[in-house]
Amino acid sequence: MAKKQYDVIVIGSGPAGFSAAEAASSLGAHVCLVEKGKLGGECPNLACIPSKALLAAARAYRNAQEVKVFGVTCSAITFQFEDVMKYRDRVVEKLTGGGIRGQRYEQLLKDLHVDVVFGEAVFEDDHNVLVGGDRLEGKAIVIATGSKDFIPDIPGLDQIHYWHWYDALSKKRQPKVLAIIGGGPVACEIATFYATFGTRIVLIQQSSRILSREDEESSRFVEERLVAMGVDVVTNGVVSNIVDGRGGVYGVHVDVQGNKTMHAVEQIVVATGKRARLNGMEEAGLCLDEHGFVVTTKEQQTNKKHLFAAGDVCGGYLLTNTSHHEGFVAGYNAALLALNKRTPKMSRDERVVPRVIFVEPESASVGVTAAVIKNRFGSVLVGRAQIQNLGRALADHAQNGMVKLVVHPKTRKVLGGSIVGPHAGEMIHEVTLAIYANLTIDKLAEMIHAFPTYAEAVSNAASQLTLE
């Protein structure tokens, strides 16, 4: 068995792993990256980019159906589901470079002078990793293996051919009726895509509302928009069992606080959350939390000083942007240890993390919710504005949207915000910067905003505060 020695070994090439390799290499470390699948990981190949391509196609289809209001006449608007999926494939190929492993990422790693080994990594001990016929020894190792789906224990689920969420983003066949188990961002995005193209959707969420981690007003707003698109949103719904009715039909039995119903569907998607992917990590001796995620310090260090972890495998936000950040911190600190450098370590800084849910219209948020601040201080200042009242929104025929700002009741500093509306994912960064820079709400209210723009709604909300 061949043995190779490295300063830093990075396991996984997703956002966290790629950033870790880049950071370690930038310090002069001899780096090896191990990947068992396609380079780039889940986000560009299966999740973020494929889903956004499909949602862009859905938005184009919706827009084409609404052009008459602008005085524009089109012939019949149609679509071919296979062609929509081909568009998704072209976007992914352009980003990754195509090929079996992702040629663009291969070249980027080559430019960074990072060795790449393909195969599944198995820890022999906490310094040695076996990959196929190779033994890789690392002075420091970064674990960035990502996450896997959490599959709930629902009677009958293991007896049917259900879809994982990523299957719903790649299948060439469009089901007529689709049940989605879960009410988080991924579930809502899948519902938006399929409902746009005419699939009847039953979205089943166990808690009292979808997007339960978001501000209640914005999540209710998104729910209303999904219902307007024809989605049957079932909250407080517990799937008691699933029956294979044969003939291409599944029976999904749902208990809503004692009221039992059955939904006949053609396909079922499971989108109920994630757990750490730790196959082959048993001999590393990692400390895990109660949900099975790797425990780390702010320096992304595990309970073993030479083992670092970053990204979804650590839990937390489970976002691409935070994975990139954590990966860079992990790779940088791993290289410092491996090279025995006395340079100060980097620390994770996730005090302010914007997040976007690409439903219709977009929903974006940052910071804490009004409910959290009210519980903490007894009251909260809230600023609200309706996007549809803006000149830009009227010109664009954008009929739905809101901005909500959360402000400290005494210091008047911006602590959180949520936006639902066109370009919400871009607009949220103004609120993000205000929180990051520790600004008061008055700064947002006083700043001149371009006219006519959607960003005016942020200024309007900042100027209309109420104490709650």
Q: What is the CATH number of the domain that holds 437?
A: 3.30.390.30
Residue 2: its pLDDT value, please?
A: 76
Domain boundary, last residue among 270, 302, 319: 270
349 in a domain, yes or no? no
Q: Are residues 397 and 456 in the same domain?
A: yes
pLDDT at 76 over 90: no
Q: Are residues 186 and 326 in the same domain?
A: no
446 in a domain, yes or no? yes
Q: Percent of the chain beyond pLDDT 90?
A: 96
308 in a domain, yes or no? yes
50 in a domain, yes or no? yes
Residue 247: its pLDDT value, please?
A: 82
Q: Are residues 254 and 283 in the same domain?
A: no
Once rounded to an integer, what is the mean pLDDT over residues 329-353?
Answer: 96
352 in a domain, yes or no? no
Q: Are residues 222 and 179 in the same domain?
A: yes
The pLDDT confidence band at residue 246, using thresholds 50, 70 and 90, is confident
Tokens of 290: 């109660």
**pLDDT tens digits along 261-311:** 999 999 999 999 999 999 999 999 999 999 999 999 999 999 999 999 999
d(CA 242, CA 166): 21
Is residue 234 within 8 Å of residue 254, measured between CB atoms? yes
444 in a domain, yes or no? yes
347 in a domain, yes or no? no
Q: Are residues 122 and 163 in the same domain?
A: no
375 in a domain, yes or no? yes
Which DSSP category does 327 fall into? H
pLDDT at 1 over 80: no
CATH number for the domain harbouring residue 84:
3.50.50.60
Q: Are residues 463 and 398 in the same domain?
A: yes
Q: With 0.75 as the threshold, say if the pTM is over it.
A: yes
pLDDT at 458 over 70: yes
Q: Are residues 399 and 449 in the same domain?
A: yes
- Cβ-proximal residues to 453 (8 Å cutoff; 6+ apart), any chain: 390, 392
**pLDDT tens digits along 423-442:** 999 999 999 999 999 999 99
Tell me which of 132-136, 326-330, 428-432 is least confident: 132-136
Three-point CA angle 119, 125, 130, nearest 5°: 20
73: left (phi over 0), alpha (psi -120 to 50) or beta: beta
Once rounded to an integer, what is the mean pLDDT over residues 313-324?
Answer: 96
d(CA 362, CA 384): 17
**pLDDT tens digits along 165-211:** 999 999 999 999 999 999 999 999 999 999 999 999 999 999 999 99
Give the closest residue to 366 by CA, choosing from 352, 381, 349: 352
Q: Are residues 8 and 135 in the same domain?
A: yes
Q: Are residues 232 and 379 in the same domain?
A: no
Overall domain count for the chain: 3
Residue 183: its pLDDT value, please?
A: 97
Q: Are residues 301 and 372 in the same domain?
A: no
Q: What rounded mean pLDDT belongs to the chain?
A: 96
Give the closest residue to 437 by CA, choosing from 425, 447, 424: 447
Domain span at 23:
2-148+275-338
What are the Cα distances from residue 12, in Å, to 146, 180, 311? 7, 29, 10
Q: Are residues 306 and 444 in the same domain?
A: no
Q: Are residues 301 and 235 in the same domain?
A: no
For the beta carbon of residue 238, count every other beta carbon within 10 angstroms: 15
Domain boundary, last residue among 307, 338, 369: 338
Domain boundary, last residue among 254, 270, 286: 270
The pLDDT confidence band at residue 230, using thresholds 50, 70 and 90, is very high
Tell me which of 62-76, 142-156, 224-238, 450-464 is least confident: 62-76
The pLDDT confidence band at residue 144, using thresholds 50, 70 and 90, is very high
Three-point CA angle 356, 358, 361, nearest 5°: 105
